[in-house]
Structure 1
Amino acid sequence: MSTALPATGYEVRLVTRPEGLPTVENFAVAEAPLPTPAEDEVLVRNLAFRVSASIRMMISEGAEAVEGVPFPALGPGDTLAEQAVGEVVVAGRDSGLKPGDLVSHHLGYREYAAVPPAGLTRLPDAATDPTDPTDPTDPTVHLGHGWTAYAALTRGVQIRPGDTVFVSGASGAIGSMAGQIACLLGAARVIGSAGSPAKADRLMSGLGYDAVVLRGGGSMADQLRDAAPEGIDVVLDTVGGEQLAAAIEVANAGARVLVVGALSGQLATSGTGRTAPVELDSVQLLLKKITLRGYSADDDPDALAEWNEKSAQWLRAGKIVFPHARIKGIENAPQAIVDTIGGRHLGTVIVEI
């Protein structure tokens, strides 16, 4: 190991499990010895990592008892984890990598990580200007949820020319990409939901949305009827709750509904964030012959390579942008978690180290 490496690095740990929504006091930024990689592992210096509201599912009481959640449960003292991009410092044996290579992996929330080669994806070389959100070689682009939206709209449900699409939670990491992608796939009208007029304005200014309904702005079903007078053909639901129920009410016959998130539960002020109850009118499902299914992009891993190719082309051509907020400094990660769950930001939230 190179003598130029520091002896320690910083990481974000869970101190106590939150009761209700997390606060900065539930986390600590601690100094830890530099990880020593095994012979076949790769030592990565992280450049940035993603912050997601879904972390609440990992850190709340009872997380370890829930089956099917695609995240590891975390207890007090554990280091948090999320998608990260970084630079190889020490390449493991037979890893096919070399120092300086850019990679993505799932051990964010720390400055250095020892990662098995199977847990790494090699990325293109960095951009000349790493702050340029239109440059597909900016490694932070790979922290976005664009591929989740792309897989959902091409595999989970296929957009048909002329469709009216509703995306709940449109200002989130998935939703802020989904509107743009839906337009490129042939949707005639794209409607989103958001929590503020400022977010609504941003979504309708270059992010693919023709109309935005507001949470807390009156009956969600009535707002959707006004925004989609000819009904809704496709629903990409990241929220659940009232918004999913309203979308079913306004949906056309044969509508396709894809549930990819549950923000109404994850952002609830009480509870564990792992339940998102919703009351649906099953008569509407029956009479309209609506298709309703849950979906994870992990079900279609082939979509990732396809998305990487298409998104690079679209970014270069100026057909899409990558909405995100950059938070500088790992010491600000606890506040970034609180702000993300509180809905302060639009798009993907990234902490730069």
Structure 2
Amino acid sequence: MKNRKITLKKRPVGMPLLSDFNIEEELMPVSGEGEVLLKSAYVSVDPYLRGKMNGTHPPIFELNEPVSSKIIAEVVESNNDNFKKGAYVSGYLNWKDYQVSDGKALQKIDSNTAPLSAYLGVLGITGLSAYIALMDIGKPGKGETLVVSGAAGAVGSIAGQIGKIIGCKVVGIVGTDEKIDLIKTKFGYDEAINYKTTPDLKAAIAQLCSEGVDIYFDNVGGSISDGVIANMNNYGRIPVCGTISNYNDIKAQTGPSLLPIVVYKFLTIQGFLIGDHAVRFPGVIAQLSAWLKEGKITYSETILEGFDKLPEAFIGLFEGRNEGKMIVKID
């Protein structure tokens, strides 16, 4: 029996292409003493992987080596007393059907609490990023106005719902009219803007946020962020969780000079990477689980099926083909 893996064939230039990846076969791995044999069940594809492919987000992916991301896997063989055969775990693993682990970096998953795929989304890095970035940097308060870019995406859809729980007015920026309907009906957003059909985003934000913007949860960067930041109130807070609009740039982009706005409006702009907050994970997941159980938050997933769909799913992130979390279910 052969084991499939997906490797990085060449570093993408601009938009990633299917030809940047290789689907290869290798011998099936065998678990040794203290190890477990894992079978991939659900694989997370995320925009930040793009930086690992071109070397701007360490640790970088090496050419002709497997791509890796967060994966939910089944323990199919165990020589480790901490893991039982048939249990499910999550961890940063390679894009392979099967692989061996010593178990040190694996987290056990309770499949009775939520569907397995939820641990890649609302109860995984997605939910953790939305909660910690918004609460720690955004510091939302009741009655404040929160704007979220990439509002129908994995992190944005959760961040907006948390803002509503706190009591904020929440405005989302998305790329289609269908996503406007999604975030308003399913995620409870008060208002939404389709940036692709809005010629003057700055003016549109000013109209919907008549009292200004207190918090901007930034997932996209670029000209969208320029339009929002121009409408920030004094002492506004801007957690920068991602800049997906720039990940595939070949040339550096220029935009309005922000420093005068930062100075004269006393703005706080802070970058965010989830790996810096691991000590918080258990408590935050407990809170998200409680909100999920109480019906205060919900989530959306775009699930493609088939190991060979992994590169396609990843590329789809940059084409806006996902509603909520993009996941690949391994057959």
Residue among 39, 44, 47 paired with 1:50? 44
The answer to whether 1:231 aligns with 2:241 is no
Task: Report the AA paired with residue 165 of structure 1.
Answer: L
5 Å matches for 1:88-127? Answer: 88-93=75-80, 96-124=82-110, 126-127=111-112
2:281 aligns to what? 304
Tell me which amino acid in the other structure corresponds to 1:195.
Answer: G
Give the residue type in structure 2 aligned to 1:236.
F
Distance in 1, Cα, partners of 2:210 & 2:155: 25
Give the alignment partner of residue 79 of structure 1, picking from 56, 59, 66: 66
Change (3 A) 1:73 1:281: closer
Q: Which residue of 2 aligns with 1:24?
A: 18
Please state how far the C-alpha of 1:104 moved relative to its aligned partner: 0.2
TM-score, structure 2 as length reference: 0.92
**Structure 2 equivalent of residue 285 of structure 1:** 262
Alpha-carbon distance, 1:89 to partner: 2.1
- Which one of the candidate residues 1, 4, 13 is aligned to 1:10? 4
**How far apart are the structure 1 equivalents of 2:254 and 2:62?**
26
From 308, 311, 314, the counterpart of 1:331: 308
Deviations 1:128-156 (A, max 9, x none): xxxxxxxx421110101111101112223
The one-letter code matched in structure 2 to 1:208 is G
Shift of residue 186, structure 1, vs aligned partner: 2.6
Provide the C-alpha distance between the structure 1 equivalents of 2:32 and 2:254, rounded to a whole number of angstroms: 45
TM-score normalised by L of structure 1: 0.86
2:85 partner amino acid: P
* 1:172 equivalent among 144, 153, 156: 153
For 1:33, which of 11, 24, 27 is the aligned residue? 27
Flag structure 1 segments of 5+ consecutive residues without an equivalent: 1-6, 128-135
Q: Secondary structure at the match of 1:118?
A: coil
- CA shift, 1:276, in A, is 6.2
Structure 1 residue matching 2:128: 3-state secondary structure: helix
Residue 68 of structure 2 contacts residue 93 of structure 2 at CA under 8 Å; is this kept in 1?
yes
- What SS is found at the alignment partner of 2:263? helix
Contact kept in structure 2, 1:326 and 1:349, CA below 8 Å? yes
The residue number in structure 2 matching 1:132 is none
SS at match of 1:43: strand
How far, CA to CA, are the matches of 1:13 and 1:280 in structure 2? Answer: 40
The amino acid of 2:181's aligned partner reads D
Question: Which range is displaced more, 168-177 or 304-313?
Answer: 304-313
Distance 1:21 1:315 in 2: 35
In the TM superposition, residue 301 of structure 1 has moved relative to its aligned partner by 2.0
Tell whether the 8 Å contact from 1:240 to 1:276 is kept in structure 2 after alignment.
Answer: no
Q: Which residue number corresponds to residue 203 of structure 1?
A: 183
Whether contact under 8 Å (1:245, 1:280) holds in the other structure is: no
Superposed displacement of residue 267, structure 1:
4.4
Q: How many percent of aligned residue pairs carry the same amino acid?
A: 27
Q: Matches of 2:94 and 2:195 in 1, distance apart? A: 32
For residues 264 and 220 of structure 1, the distance between their equivalents in structure 2, rounded to whole angstroms, comes to 15
Which amino acid in the other structure matches residue 78 of structure 2? A
Distance in 2, matches of 1:351 and 1:8, equals 20
Deviation by residue 1:223-253 (Cα, 9 ceiling, x = unmatched)? 1101101111111111112122222210111
State the one-letter code of the partner of 1:320: I
Match of 2:324 among 341, 347, 353: 347
Residue 323 of structure 1 aligns with an amino acid whose one-letter code is S
Which SS does the other structure have where 2:104 is aligned?
helix
Contact 2:137 2:237 in 1 (8 A): no
The answer for the alignment partner of 2:133 in structure 1 is 152
Is the 1:47–1:86 contact (alpha carbons within 8 Å) kept by the matching residues of 2?
yes
Any conservation in 2 of the 1:241–1:264 contact (CA below 8 Å)?
yes
SS at match of 2:297: coil
Distance 1:182 1:19 in 2: 36
User: For this pair of structures, how many residues does the alignment match?
Assistant: 325
Gapped regions of structure 2 (runs ≥ 5): none
Q: Residues 50-82 of structure 1: CA distance to partner in whole angstroms, max 9, x if unpaired? A: 11122221223xx1xx4xx2x432233111111
Q: What whole-Å deviation, never above 9, does each CA across 1:97-144 have from its counterpart, x for those lacking one? A: 1111211011142211222322101111x24xxxxxxxx421110101
Alignment check: 8 A CA contact 2:38 2:73 kept: yes
Q: 1:267 to 1:229 in 2, by over 3 A?
A: farther
2:194 paired with 1:214: yes
- Residue in 2 that maps onto 1:242: 223
Q: What SS is found at the alignment partner of 1:174? A: helix
